[in-house]
Amino acid sequence: MLFQVRMDVHLPVDMPAEVANDIKAREKAYSQDLQRCGKWRHIWRVVGEYANYSIFEVESNAELHDILCGLPLFPYMKISVTPLCRHPSSIRDDDI
């Protein structure tokens, strides 16, 4: 199953820099592990915002939920999820 996920991050302005940097480092490692194993297929930054659009390929809604809840930045995010399916006009063989 493919999902488009928008993640908007809202760290508290009074969060100590060392705490924020630790969370961001753990987030990067977690997301890169998911990218390496193929679950997190794409990630794009939204210009001028602390936000991204990502494409996930997972087995179920529950798996995506677990992945998103496991993000170190999850408590500071607004997340919106859109399920996707292959368009009949697509010429890409790797579309699901």
Q: What CATH number has the domain bearing residue 35? A: 3.30.70.1060
Q: Higher-confidence residue: 21 or 95? A: 21
Domain span holding position 71: 2-84
Decide if 94 is inside a domain: no
The DSSP bridge pattern shows strands 40-45 and 2-9 to be unpaired
Decide if 89 is inside a domain: no
Decide if 72 is inside a domain: yes
**Contact yes or no for 93/83 (Cβ under 8 A):** no
Decide if 26 is inside a domain: yes
Average pLDDT over residues 36-52: 98
Residue 96, pLDDT score: 66
Decide if 23 is inside a domain: yes
Count of structural domains, the chain: 1
The DSSP bridge pattern shows strands 77-84 and 51-57 to be unpaired
State the DSSP string of 4-60: EEEEEE---TTS-HHHHHHHHHHHHHHHHHHHHTTSEEEEEEPTTSSEEEEEEE-S-
- Is the pLDDT at 30 greater than 80? The verdict is yes
Decide if 44 is inside a domain: yes
